[in-house]
Structure 1
Amino acid sequence: MTATLNETLTLLLIEDDAGDAFLVEELLKEAEAPPRITWVRTLGEAKAKLGPSVQCVLVDLSLPDASGLEALKEVLELASDAAVLVLTGLRDVHVGVAAVQAGAQDYLVKQDVDARLLARAIRYAMERKRADLAQRRLVEAELTAKENARLETGLLPVPLLRTHELRHTTRYLPGSQGQRLAGDFLDTVQTPDGSVHVVVGDVCGHGPDEAALGVALRIAWRTLVLAGQTGDPLLRTLDTLLRAERKSPEIFTTLCAVTITPDLSHARMRVVGHPPPVVVRDGVVGVVPGAPSGPPLGIFPDVRWTELNVPLGERWSMMLYTDGLIEAAVGEGLLGVDGLLGLVRQHGVIDVDRLIGEVGTLTDDLAAVVVSRGGT
């Protein structure tokens, strides 16, 4: 009966006996799609051949330079994505069983191999390896999802807000680039004197390291605000923390930190290399003038950031956001700050959900906080 392999594959044969190697090659020639076979005599020679292109490995565990499970362990480490079948003699069947327990997909007794059995064993080993890899990816995805959920809990805190005079809305949305976790963060805290403090920040880059750094910066910001620290001293402390915790010196962070006075009629802010907040006052839409008030954190030492003073009045609305909003794809270009202002003017109010719905695809993560007073 002719052996049937479902695909043409690249196979590495590690066998020091020329007669056994010749037999394997001849048997596989009978397959419907004979594999491309590379034959080596030792594990040392195999190391130079093992790579991503090798889909299956047949290995004799009695090699001149390695034997038993020691040889198998090295093969499994060098070809982690390849199916591995072990060749044994009649007296070494127990070694084949141990090899499967150690990670090989199957074992074959040389004296019992024929064309049909060999082809079927290779095919089944390939399928088992695919199933193993799929299971491994599933487990990794589940672990990543759990870690992301834990980090997102840190990125999305419950606001500490006592006043009922303000309407407070937050949004945190992943971008379209593989839904990777990013370092965007936000927070709102009202201190005992009645001041309302808001921050929105963005750690450059994507991934769990950046997200964890965003969580650390947000928690540090909340702690410092509750301890009574604001302004440049707070930012310099965050800058020190960023430099100590980041994985590489290229990592920087932009943010906008706002303090609204206890009577809710005035705001002081520092826009640290960040997009300018949008403010609607008595129906007039604009961005905060003078922004940004200084460079991002983590770029220059001993920086001073200019404080921007913004009169708000009785009826107003303010939105702090990360650049995922203004970098959203609109037509053939990006929304930009001017496009964002145009949409807010069309709506007459800052409706973050409507804005997100109209800009279309978010290519980057978005964190936004909207604070409103007086029914705006």
Structure 2
Amino acid sequence: MAPRPEGTAPGVLSPEDLLRVLLVEDDDGDALLVEELLDDARVKVELHRATSLDLALEMLRLHDVHCILLDLGLPDAVGLSAVERLQARNDPPALVVLTGHTGIDLGVQAVAAGADDYLVKGEVDGDLLGRSVRYAVQRRRSKEQQRALYRSEVRAAETARLERALLPTPLVTDETIAVMVGYIPGGNGLLGGDFYDAVERPDGSVLCLIGDVAGHGPDEAALGATLRTAWRTLVLSDVDPAQILPLVERVLVPERARPEVFVTLCQVVIAPDRTSVDLYLAGHMPPLLLQGSCSELPTTSRGRALGIPVDGGWRVERVPLEGPWALMLYTDGLIEATLADDRETALPAKADVARTQDALPRRERLGVQGLIKAVDTELANGDEGLVERVFRLVRTLHGGPLVDDAAVLVVGWGGPDQDARGARTATLADSDEWSQ
């Protein structure tokens, strides 16, 4: 008998499929009759036998079985108790009951208890037995497909709720401020803990945030959503920006699933007159300054990540800016991308970037300088759709879906003479499109 596989996906049963059938029957004569009927049936069967229910349960624990043929009169189980014990298992196989009673009551009760079909001994031939086994297996597979679809829909809905909490609509009322956001999932399909936000206060200052919870999965995503919500609450409560990161850390410590989980954050406070920003870094990369070309915002005040039990806090650093300007806050999913060939950091022509690179070795990280070059390449074509274009270029350089999630928040100001409304875009890539 084949070992029980992990996570086998159900499918449509083919006439050529070999079905592993476990006969639970203590009578040797009846067992021989069933074996002969299956030999006559138009179905490929690998037959195994257990003489008691306890032995059958042990065999099911160790091996994969498509269908059970169950006698209701066993030494250690009488009547429907055997059906109930088999159905109490996780993902039980198809079940066809064999009964010696000619009345239909017991068979109907067995089906009501979870059996897929019932047959009366002495009234069944090979074709009927074969059809019953095949139909029972297909019926059980169809039920499993329906359950898998339902679970998938539930997970998709839960993921969508988490993503909405991680990736909210920025609350920026000043129409001269451009806000462009984006998020793409990693190629492993697990939801990460990347998050961002932007909120304008009544005094005209605009607070922006981008963060990354270490790790991947629902726990990290839920923690990221919690921290992002806590941050927005503190901002809307007019808490001093210098006190926000310590308070967010106080939320992090009891909420994290494991004591080794930490979070990196970048908080930017844009002055009401838009001529300077206050920068707070908690183990995170500084933003990129987009001002004609792309460069890293100069800073000397990078503090520790949230949740790391070492001394030291976070010191604000004020950076003066002259309009027009834009800042790109991002998570490390972009710079952790690896180049798909052995080129140096020089960015090739776009026609070369688009070529297929699957067969080329990967050995070099894109890094901050590589990301700066990628952003410069796309800035040459204007700022319309900038976030999505940068995502696509980095993915092309990587040679496919990124390993880690990546989030980007671009906030910009066109200067005191700007009359046009700032761009507001969102690239929230779904898995179907961006996993190709």
TM-score of the pair, normalised by structure 2? 0.77
Q: 2:42 touches 2:130 (CA, 8 Å); kept in 1?
A: no
Give the alignment of 1:169-188 within 5 angstroms. Answer: 169-178=180-189, 180-188=190-198
- The residue aligned with 1:296 is 305
Q: Identity of paired residues, percent?
A: 45
- The residue aligned with 1:97 is 108
Find the partner of 1:190 among 193, 200, 203. 200
| Aligned AA (2:294) | V
- The residue aligned with 1:337 is 368
Query: Cα offset for 1:341?
Result: 0.6
Q: C-alpha distance in 2, partners of 1:126/1:214?
A: 43
- The answer to whether 1:118 aligns with 2:129 is yes
Give the alignment of 1:1-376 within 5 angstroms. Answer: 6-31=16-41, 34-51=44-61, 53-78=64-89, 80=91, 82-91=93-102, 93-178=104-189, 180-231=190-241, 233-281=243-291, 283-290=292-299, 293-300=302-309, 303-332=312-341, 333=362, 334-346=365-377, 347-348=379-380, 351-360=386-395, 361-363=400-402, 364-374=404-414
Query: Cα offset for 1:218?
Result: 0.8
State the Cα deviation string for residues 69-92 of structure 1 (Å, max 9, x = none).
332232123351522222222256
| Aligned AA (1:310) | V
Q: C-alpha distance in 2, partners of 1:166/1:108?
A: 74
Q: C-alpha distance in 2, partners of 1:292/1:60?
A: 75
Q: C-alpha distance in 2, partners of 1:325/1:147?
A: 25
Query: Cα offset for 1:290?
Result: 4.4
Q: 1:148 to 1:92 in 2, by over 3 A?
A: farther
Q: 1:297 to 1:105 in 2, by over 3 A?
A: farther
State the Cα deviation string for residues 75-121 of structure 1 (Å, max 9, x = none).
12335152222222225632322232333222222222221111111
Query: Cα offset for 1:343?
Result: 1.6
Query: Cα offset for 1:205?
Result: 3.2
Stretch moving more, 122-131 or 355-364:
355-364
Q: C-alpha distance in 1, partners of 2:401/2:175?
A: 32
Query: Cα offset for 1:64?
Result: 2.4
State the Cα deviation string for residues 19-51 of structure 1 (Å, max 9, x = none).
222222232233466422221122211221114
Q: 1:69 to 1:248 in 2, by over 3 A?
A: farther
Query: Cα offset for 1:123?
Result: 0.9
Stretch moving more, 365-374 or 33-42:
33-42
Q: 1:47 touches 1:78 (CA, 8 Å); kept in 2?
A: no
Query: Cα offset for 1:291?
Result: 7.0
Q: C-alpha distance in 1, partners of 2:202/2:212?
A: 27
Q: 1:274 touches 1:292 (CA, 8 Å); kept in 2?
A: no
Q: C-alpha distance in 2, partners of 1:274/1:73?
A: 56
State the Cα deviation string for residues 111-155 of structure 1 (Å, max 9, x = none).
222211111111111111111111111111222222222222222
Q: 1:271 touches 1:291 (CA, 8 Å); kept in 2?
A: no
Aligned residues: CA RMSD? 2.6
Of structures 1 and 2, the one with the larger relative CO (CA 8 A, separation 6+) is: 2
Q: Which runs of 4+ in 1 moved over 4 A?
A: 31-34
Does the residue aligned with 2:172 lie in a helix, a strand or coil?
coil
Query: Cα offset for 1:355?
Result: 0.8
Q: 1:275 to 1:49 in 2, by over 3 A?
A: farther
Q: 1:65 to 1:362 in 2, by over 3 A?
A: same
Does the residue aligned with 2:49 lie in a helix, a strand or coil?
strand
Query: Cα offset for 1:255?
Result: 2.0
Q: C-alpha distance in 2, partners of 1:249/1:14?
A: 50
Stretch moving more, 219-228 or 51-60:
51-60
Q: 1:100 touches 1:107 (CA, 8 Å); kept in 2?
A: yes
Query: Cα offset for 1:202?
Result: 1.9
Q: C-alpha distance in 2, partners of 1:46/1:291?
A: 69
Query: Cα offset for 1:301?
Result: 5.7
Stretches of structure 2 lacking an aligned partner (at least 5 in a row): 1-13, 342-361, 416-421, 423-436
Does the residue aligned with 2:303 lie in a helix, a strand or coil?
coil
Q: 1:274 to 1:170 in 2, by over 3 A?
A: same
Query: Cα offset for 1:303?
Result: 4.5
Does the residue aligned with 1:112 lie in a helix, a strand or coil?
coil
Query: Cα offset for 1:276?
Result: 3.0
Query: Cα offset for 1:219?
Result: 0.8
State the Cα deviation string for residues 179-199 of structure 1 (Å, max 9, x = none).
x43322111011122221001
Query: Cα offset for 1:309?
Result: 3.1
Query: Cα offset for 1:329?
Result: 5.0
Stretch moving more, 320-329 or 260-269:
320-329
| Aligned AA (1:304) | G
Stretch moving more, 41-50 or 307-316:
307-316
| Aligned AA (1:370) | V
